[in-house]
């Protein structure tokens, strides 16, 4: 699936039009919606952020959040509201989040063009 198919234009919390900083594939959106249903987070958004740590310096974080802050960038893709905080935005701009299945299990996979190095587990990176 190409990035144009999953990327949407949306409004940030400031009301300005912006290109979605993160591309969420349709499969990743479906899995996120199913997880929201399981956890009873029907009105929540999918918050994606970057934290210090991990084996490569930074690690990805995803969770459900009902609190939207003034400096958050909010987009909607495939029926999922995606929220990115201002600090994480430079590290996540251009990222595609997919959902993959394989011999070692299934989970969300981050494809980050900004990463200069990633670890084997795929959940941390260096910028």
Distance between CA 94 and CA 21 in Å, rounded?
A: 6
Looking at the predicted structure, is the pLDDT value of residue 73 above 50? Answer: yes
CATH of domain 3-126: 2.60.300.12
Distance between CA 101 and CA 105 in Å, rounded?
A: 6
Q: Note the pLDDT tens digit of each residue in 83-121.
A: 999 999 998 999 999 999 988 788 898 888 876 555 555
Distance between CA 39 and CA 5 in Å, rounded?
A: 28
Phi-psi region of 18 (alpha: psi -120 to 50; beta: other; left: phi over 0): beta
**Alpha helix segments (H runs only) across the chain:** 3-6, 26-39, 89-92
pTM: 0.75
Q: Note the pLDDT tens digit of each residue in 28-45.
A: 999 999 999 999 998 999
What pLDDT, on a 0 to 100 scale, did the predictor assign at position 69?
95
Looking at the predicted structure, is the pLDDT value of residue 10 above 60? Answer: no
What pLDDT, on a 0 to 100 scale, did the predictor assign at position 117?
54
Looking at the predicted structure, is the pLDDT value of residue 4 above 50? Answer: no
Residue 89 tokens, joined: 């935005």
pLDDT confidence tier of residue 55, bands split at 50, 70 and 90 = low
């Amino acid at each position: 699936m190409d990035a144009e198919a999953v990327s949407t234009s949306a409004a940030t919390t400031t009301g300005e039009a912006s290109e979605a900083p993160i591309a969420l594939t349709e499969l990743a959106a479906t899995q996120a919606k199913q997880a929201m249903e399981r956890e009873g987070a029907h009105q929540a958004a999918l918050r994606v952020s970057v934290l210090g740590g991990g084996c490569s310096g930074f690690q990805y974080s995803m969770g459900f959040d009902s609190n939207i802050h003034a400096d958050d960038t909010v987009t909607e893709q495939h029926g999922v509201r995606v929220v990115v905080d201002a600090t994480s935005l430079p590290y996540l701009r251009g990222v595609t989040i997919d959902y993959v299945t394989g011999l070692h299990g299934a989970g969300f996979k981050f494809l980050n063009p900004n990463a200069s190095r990633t670890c084997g587990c795929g959940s941390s990176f260096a910028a």
